[in-house]
């Protein structure tokens, strides 16, 4: 603990010295989220991270999350230095959607508007007409559907199926999944609900349809936090990365939260629902990134950046 405090103190000094601000996702470890809060940074969902970095005056953005979040920041603010604790922190959705194959898929369906989830590489975004995060996917697809558009959606099949079901839009889905949310189990969740009949179920839409069907609220990380604040229940079962419990407990110390089961027999797995790439964002890596940015800095090819900026700006302007 003393060691952690020493890291935190040095990081605070470095952030100030380098005119840097920490932009963290809700799935990072509690100490990283606390550090972002203590230093005037932000802790939020991926849409708010993009907005915050875009508007903040700091010269350097230190993005604690996964690579697509750093790339999004760089695309939006190329004049800033964007660094990450590690460039190895990827996402199974990004990995499962290589740009060349996705682009070929789009070429086969030229009649469709290409909508991609923010959890993709800059090159995939550059092939898209729209970028969306989970917090505005429904609204954007609903809007496109009302314009009579047919949609090609990538890469998350579960989020895509959820949006398709809710909006009734004509959507062709890429076959990708989040390795964390894909593990939630409907049968085990049903059993857990029996043990906590008074609990409301909160589900991130990257989870399988069978799990989403059991939800009282479905939404992005910030929407789930809001739902926990708004719903009258005192107890919640939560199907998303366990990093989110830090903020939920901080905002609602009087309420109780349990993890949705990722294994069979109704047993909760205490370490399964945590993204291995989000977990790479430690204090040591943050200090290293601030001390020697090379090897931590995000670069996006200029032509790709210009092209990817269009669908990203469309998202930010739509969400206003």
Binding residues for [4Fe-4S] cluster: 91, 178, 275
Binding mask 122-151 for ligand 13P (x = CB under 6 A): -----------xxx----------------
Residue 209 beta carbon to ligand SF4: minimum distance, rounded to whole angstroms: 17
169: tokens are: 């839009």
Evaluated on CA atoms 123, 60, 295, 287, the torsion sign reads negative
> What's the distance, CA 2 to chain centroid?
31
Six-digit token pair at 262? 């990722």
Binding-site residues from annotation = 25, 46, 91, 117-119, 134, 178, 204-206, 221, 275
- Residue in 206, 239, 246, 262 binding ligand SF4, rule: CB under 6 A: 206
Q: Tell which one of 22, 50, 180, 237 touches ligand SF4 (CB under 6 A).
A: 180
**Contacts of ligand SF4 in 119-138 (CB under 6 A):** 119
What does 133 interact with, of ligand SF4, ligand 13P, none (CB < 5 to 8 A by kind)?
ligand 13P
Q: Is residue 279 a contact residue for ligand SF4 (CB under 6 A)?
A: no
Window contacting ligand SF4 (CB under 6 A); options: 15-23, 87-95, 159-167, 245-253: 87-95
Q: Does position 277 bind ligand SF4 by CB under 6 A?
A: yes
Return the bridge partners of 218, or none.
203
Residue 92's binding partner among ligand 13P, ligand SF4, none (Cβ under 5 to 8 angstroms by kind) is ligand SF4
Per CB under 6 A, the segment of 135-143, 188-196, 225-233, 274-282 that binds ligand SF4 is 274-282
Number of neighbours of residue 301 by Cβ within 10 angstroms: 12
Closest of 124, 40, 68 to residue 278, by C-alpha: 68
Query: Rounded CA gap, 45 and 40, in Å?
Result: 16
Q: Which residues are annotated as a binding site for iminosuccinate?
A: 25, 46, 117-119, 134, 204-206, 221
Q: Is 220 in the site for ligand SF4 (CB under 6 A)?
A: no
Q: Does 233 bind ligand 13P (CB under 6 A)?
A: no
Using CB under 6 A as the binding rule, whether residue 45 contacts ligand 13P is answered as yes
Please report whether residue 46 would count as binding ligand 13P according to CB under 6 A. Answer: yes
Spatial separation of the C-alpha atoms in residues 309 and 81, rounded to whole Å? 17
Which residues contact residue 120 at a Cβ distance below 8 angstroms, ignoring those fewer than 6 apart?
68, 93, 94, 97, 128, 131, 154, 155
Helices (DSSP H) in the chain: which residue ranges? 2-17, 30-38, 46-55, 67-76, 92-95, 99-108, 122-126, 137-146, 157-167, 186-195, 209-212, 221-230, 245-251, 283-291, 302-319
Residue 221, interface with ligand 13P (CB under 6 A)? yes
DSSP state of 3: H
List the alpha helices (DSSP H) in 26-98: 30-38, 46-55, 67-76, 92-95
Give the binding site for ligand SF4 (CB under 6 A): 66, 91-93, 119, 178-180, 206, 241, 275, 277-278
Give the binding site for ligand 13P (CB under 6 A): 45-47, 119, 133-135, 178, 206, 220-221
């Amino acid at each position: 603990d003393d060691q952690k405090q020493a890291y935190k103190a040095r990081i605070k000094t470095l952030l100030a010295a380098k005119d840097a601000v920490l932009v963290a996702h809700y799935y990072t470890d509690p100490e990283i989220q606390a550090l972002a809060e203590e230093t005037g940074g932000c802790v939020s969902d991926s849409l708010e991270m993009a907005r915050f970095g875009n508007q903040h005056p700091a010269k350097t953005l230190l993005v604690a999350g996964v690579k697509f979040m750093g790339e999004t920041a760089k695309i939006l603010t190329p004049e800033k230095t964007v660094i990450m604790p590690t460039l190895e922190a990827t996402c199974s959705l990004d990995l499962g959607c290589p740009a060349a194959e996705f682009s070929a898929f789009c070429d086969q369906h030229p009649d469709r508007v290409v909508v991609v989830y923010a959890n993709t590489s800059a090159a995939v975004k550059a092939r898209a007409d729209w970028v969306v995060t989970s917090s505005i996917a429904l609204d954007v697809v609903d809007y496109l559907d009302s314009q009579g558009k047919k949609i090609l959606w990538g890469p998350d099949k579960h989020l895509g199926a959820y949006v398709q079901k809710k909006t009734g839009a004509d959507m062709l889905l890429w076959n990708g999944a989040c390795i964390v949310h894909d593990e939630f189990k409907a049968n085990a969740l049903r059993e857990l609900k029996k043990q906590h009949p008074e609990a409301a179920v909160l589900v991130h839409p990257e989870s399988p349809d069978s799990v989403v069907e059991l939800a009282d609220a479905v939404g992005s990380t910030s929407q789930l936090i809001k739902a926990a604040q708004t719903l009258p229940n005192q107890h919640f079962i939560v199907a998303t990365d366990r990093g989110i419990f830090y903020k939920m407990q901080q905002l609602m110390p009087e309420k109780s939260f349990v993890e949705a089961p990722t294994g069979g027999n109704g047993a909760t797995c205490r370490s399964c629902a945590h993204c291995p790439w989000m977990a790479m964002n430690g204090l040591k890596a943050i200090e290293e990134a601030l001390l020697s940015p090379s090897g931590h800095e995000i670069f996006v090819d200029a032509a790709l950046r210009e092209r990817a900026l269009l669908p990203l700006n469309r998202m930010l302007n739509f969400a206003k």
